[in-house]
Amino acid sequence: MSWLLAFLGFAALIVLHELGHFAAAKAVGMRVERFALFFPPILKSVKRGETEYAIGSIPLGGYVRITGMNPHEEIPKSVEHRAYFRQPVWKRIVVILAGPLVNLVLAFLILWGLALTVQGGKLAFPTNRVEAVEAGSPAAGKLRPGDVIVAVDGQRGGPGVVRKQLGNHPCEPRLQDGCRAQTPARVVVRRDGAEKTFSLVPVYDADPRVKAMRIGFAFGQREEPVNPVNAAQVSVQQMWLVTTLTVQTIARIFDPEDRKELSSVVGGYETTRQAFESDTRRALGVLGLISLSLAVINLFPFLPLDGGHIFWALAEKVSGRRIPVIVMERAGLVGFALVLALFFIGLNNDIARLRGDGFDLPR
């Protein structure tokens, strides 16, 4: 059953993404020739009005074919005015942006719903209070449980600010598990009503769930009764964290260690399947995060991704003239090669995980 549920979950993400493109194209008056789940060869199709609805045989995605998206195609005079490249830039951007936007909204709604229905009816938020100190860490013997972090390097703020400031003390020449920062962090804490200052050298933790400079303490937490507002806050925080990690991982694709973090549709599917076997709520959370990742990756500014179409539409708007087709085609070849490289690296990683220790499910 978990195989079927994971398949249906992935299919739903694809259908809703393409439905965003489809609905936006119809709304701005473009002519949609085909709405397809999965890629050709086509297994079955039915035509309703001017649009063909189809199911393909390769379950790796889906697509919406809009008249005129291929600049070289011959377009009947009767529908030429509704072709994609005959439309104003703003209409093209609306249509392309609609797919990732659906994934973003879907991710938010799933994570928001899970937060609203959390067991016990309370949400935990990190505070600057030190809950525990790790033995043998830079903070050991200096920080104590009950201390309150006031500032790091003069910067005041919540746990996010503390983590960011510690991250400003990296190892040189590169990050490795257990490496020590080149410079110490100046940590000010409040203890028994008085402020104390410590000079602590952060250490890098390469755990995939951490991957940050740390000084070895755990933040305390406060609990609040769940409500729509703080549930939305938790959802947005999770989305921002996943977005940041996704962008950082892809940006450091040439780093052998970071490249190991990439995954393909195979990994996403297997993680979802295992999550359904474990717990339905966890599976929904995984689908929400996958939906978010689809949106983020699709917005990278190179063809054939949605972000590439948006980039060239904006370039046309800024330049005030149509971008030559040959320029976009060459850019598309580079982008397509990059997409293939990301896919095969992720697939190779997923195969190694299937043969080895498996997949770590999000907590």
Does some domain include residue 53? yes
Residues 263 and 316 in one domain: yes
Does some domain include residue 98? yes
Average pLDDT over residues 219-235: 92
The pLDDT value recorded for residue 228 is 94
The pLDDT value recorded for residue 137 is 92
Residues 319 and 289 in one domain: yes
Phi, psi of 33, deg, nearest 5: -85, -40
Does some domain include residue 242? no
The pLDDT value recorded for residue 102 is 96
Average pLDDT over residues 168-193: 89
Does some domain include residue 238? no
Residues 201 and 253 in one domain: no
How much is the mean pLDDT over the chain? 86
Residues 266 and 166 in one domain: no
Residues 168 and 70 in one domain: no
Q: What pLDDT band is residue 269 in, cutting at 50, 70 and 90?
A: low
Q: What pLDDT band is residue 353 in, cutting at 50, 70 and 90?
A: low
Residue with the bigger pLDDT between 339 and 309: it is: 309
Burial class (CB in 10 A: 0-12, 13-18, 19+), 52: middle
The pLDDT value recorded for residue 190 is 95
Residue 255 reports pLDDT greater than 80: no
The pLDDT value recorded for residue 172 is 81
**Share of residues in the chain with pLDDT > 90 (%):** 44
Residues 12 and 51 in one domain: yes
The pLDDT value recorded for residue 236 is 93
Q: Which of 133-147, 208-222, 251-265, 286-300 has the highest mean pLDDT?
A: 133-147
Residue 133 reports pLDDT greater than 90: yes
Residue 77 reports pLDDT greater than 60: yes
Please give the Cα distance from 287 to 297 (Å, whole number).
Answer: 15
Give the chain's domain count. 2
Closest CA to 300 of 246, 238, 241, 236: 246
Residues 99 and 200 in one domain: no
Q: Which of 7-11, 118-122, 150-154, 245-249 has the highest mean pLDDT?
A: 150-154
Residue 227 reports pLDDT greater than 90: yes
pLDDT in tens, 31-46: 999 999 888 889 999 9
Instruction: Using the CB atoms, write b or e for 138-165: b if 16+ within 10 Å.
Output: bbeebbeeebebbbbeeeeeebeebbeb
Average pLDDT over residues 335-343: 78
Token digits of residue 321: 């003239």
**Share of residues in the chain with pLDDT > 70 (%):** 90
Residues 97 and 149 in one domain: no
Pairing of strands 194-200, 185-191: antiparallel
The pLDDT value recorded for residue 107 is 94
Residue 359 reports pLDDT greater than 60: no
* E strands present in the chain: 32-48, 51-66, 122-133, 148-152, 155-156, 185-191, 194-200, 203-205, 212-214, 217-225
Residues 105 and 16 in one domain: yes
The pLDDT value recorded for residue 79 is 87
* Amino acid found at 32: V
pLDDT in tens, 283-326: 888 889 889 988 998 898 888 889 999 999 999 999 888 888 78
The answer to whether 50 and 31 have CB atoms below 8 angstroms apart is yes
Q: Which CATH number does the domain housing residue 161 bear?
A: 2.30.42.10
Does some domain include residue 161? yes
Residues 38 and 89 in one domain: yes
Residues 110 and 131 in one domain: no
Residues 258 and 296 in one domain: yes
Range of the domain at 163: 124-224
For residue 284, the Cα-to-chain-centroid distance in whole angstroms is 15
Q: pTM for this structure?
A: 0.80
pLDDT in tens, 282-291: 888 888 988 9
Residue 249 reports pLDDT greater than 80: no
